[in-house]
Amino acid sequence: MARYLFVPYPMHGHVNPMVPVAAELVARGETVNVAVAAPFADVFREVGCDVTEIVTTVVTDWPENPTKEQRRRNRQAALRMFRERRGVVRRLRAGWPQWRPDVVVSDLAARWGQLAALRERTPLASFSVTYTVSEEMVVGNLRRQRGDRYVRTIRRLGLLHQFHPALRDRAELALVNATPHLQPRWETFGDRYHFVGPLLRDTSGYGDTDLPWERIERGPTLFFSPGTVFGCGPQFFRALADAFADTEWTVVMATAATDPAELGDLPPNVIARRYVPQSAVLSRSSVFLTRASMNSVLEAVRHEVPMIAVPRAYDQRGVAARLQELGVAVVLDQKAPGATFVETADRLRSDPDVASALERMAEPMREAAPVAAAADALQKFTQNR
C-alpha cells in the first residue's frame, strides 16, 4: 500500500478535479493525506482522506470592473501569498515524518507543494486543472504579442519560466485535466504527460436546489455560470435577463459573488441564485453560457450542451477559441447586444452540425474512465519509483 500526499490549490476549480482522484486511490486501499486550507478540508475528509489544514493566502476573485480598493486588496493578497510561501513549505516539510509520502501530487498553482517535495527528495507528480503549455507555445504567444526583441530579452534575463507555472514544472509525471480535443498540440507532449480529463466531481447536491425543475427540464433552458473567480457584475446579469425576457427561454443564472437582490425585479422566466447544483442544471440545459473554464467545459461536452463563451482569463480564451474551432461553441464579446445572445442561443440549440460535433466529442468521454486512468498513472508511477 502506497502513501500519497495531495497538495491542492485552495479554490473550487482546482479542488473539484482532485477530489475524485483522491477518492479513487482511497477506494483502492491507498493512504491519501491532503494538506489544504480549511474551507476545502471537509470535501476530502468525506472521501476518506486524512486531512491536515494549512493556512495559505490566495487571490480569491478578480472582479470584472475592480475598484481601486479591490485592486489594492488583490495586490496585497498576491504579495502576502509570495511572502508566506517559505513558511508554508516549512510547515509541509515538518509533516513529512507523519505523512511519509511515497509520492506528492501537487497542483501546479500550489507552488509550496512542489517545493516541499523537491526539498524532501520525494517523487513528484504535478496536477494541472486546465490544458498545459510548452515553452514553444509560450514563446510563440509572446512573439505574436510583443515581438522577437522582447522574447530575446526575456530569454537573456532568464525570466521565461515566470510566464506560466507549467514552465517551472519539474515533476516526473504530469496529470492534465484535459482531453486531447481540448489540449493544444497535445501530440507534441512527451510520455510524462497524461491527459486524463474529464475529472468531474458531482455537484448535483451543491448550492440552492430549490429550483423550478419541471420548467427547467421542459426548456429551452439557458444556464449561465461565470464561476467564482472571474465572475461578472450585476450589469451583465441584468442585461441578460432583459434580453431573454418575453422569450420562450428559461434562464438560470448562478451569480456567485453578486447578490441577486442587486439585479432588481427579474422577468418571470429568469431565475437567479448565488449558487446552484451545476451538474443537475447543466444536464437539463439547452445552451450553456460560460467563461470557458476547463471544468465547466468538460462537463458541458459530456452532457452534449452547446456553449456561448465569454472568456476573461488567459486559459479561458484558449479553451473558448478551441471550442469554436471544433464547432461546439460561439465566442461572443460580453458587450455584444443582448439580441445577439438570444439569436446565438436559438441557433446553437437547433443546429444539427453542432449536435453532431458534441456527440463526437462526448463519445470517448463516456467510454473512458478518466478517474481510474489518473489513479492508474499514479499507481504505476509509484511502483516504478
123-151 pLDDT, tens digit per residue, is 999 999 999 999 999 999 899 989 999 98
Radius of gyration of the chain (CA): 21
Q: Which of helix, strand or coil describes residue 146? A: helix
Q: What stretches of the chain adopt beta strand conformation (E)?
A: 3-7, 31-36, 50-53, 103-107, 124-128, 173-176, 193-195, 221-225, 250-254, 270-273, 287-290, 307-309, 329-331
What residues does each domain of the chain span?
Answer: 3-201+368-384, 213-350
283-319 pLDDT, tens digit per residue, is 999 999 999 999 999 999 999 999 999 998 878 999 9
Banded model confidence at residue 32, pLDDT cuts 50, 70, 90? very high
pLDDT (0 to 100) of residue 313: 80
Amino acid sitting at position 281? V
Residue 193 to residue 377: CA distance in whole angstroms? 10
Fold agreement between 3-201+368-384 and 213-350: yes
**The C-alpha cell that represents 59 in the structure block:** 487571490
Backbone angles phi, psi at 42, to 5 degrees: -65, -35
332-360 pLDDT, tens digit per residue, is 999 999 999 999 999 999 999 999 999 99
Residue 106 to residue 8: CA distance in whole angstroms? 6
Please state, in angstroms and as integers, the Cα–Cα distance from residue 166 to each residue in 11, 108, 199, 377, following that order: 18, 7, 19, 19
Bigger pLDDT: 75 or 251? Answer: 251
Judged by average pLDDT, the poorest of 100-104, 273-277, 357-361, 362-366 is 362-366
Percent of the chain surpassing pLDDT 90: 76
- pLDDT above 70 (res 175): yes
- pLDDT above 90 (res 62): no
Average pLDDT of the residues in 14-40: 97
- pLDDT above 70 (res 378): yes
**The C-alpha cell that represents 210 in the structure block:** 430549490
pLDDT (0 to 100) of residue 83: 83
Average pLDDT of the residues in 72-92: 85
Choices 3.40.50.2000, 3.40.50.300, 3.30.200.20, 3.40.710.10: CATH for 213-350: 3.40.50.2000
**Edge-to-edge strand ranges of the sheet holding 193-195:** 50-53, 31-36, 3-7, 103-107, 124-128, 173-176, 193-195
Percent of the chain surpassing pLDDT 70: 98
Cβ-Cβ contacts under 8 Å for 152 (sequence gap 6 or more): none
Q: Encode 293-304 in three state secondary structure.
A: CHHHHHHHHHCC
- pLDDT above 70 (res 121): yes
pLDDT (0 to 100) of residue 364: 84
Choices 3.40.50.2000, 3.50.50.60, 3.40.50.620, 3.20.20.60: CATH for 3-201+368-384: 3.40.50.2000
List the end-to-end C-alpha distance of the chain, in Å, as a whole number. 14
**The C-alpha cell that represents 180 in the structure block:** 486531447
* Local structure of residue 158 (DSSP, 8 states): T
Closest listed residue to residue 308, CA positions, set 338, 293, 327, 288? 288
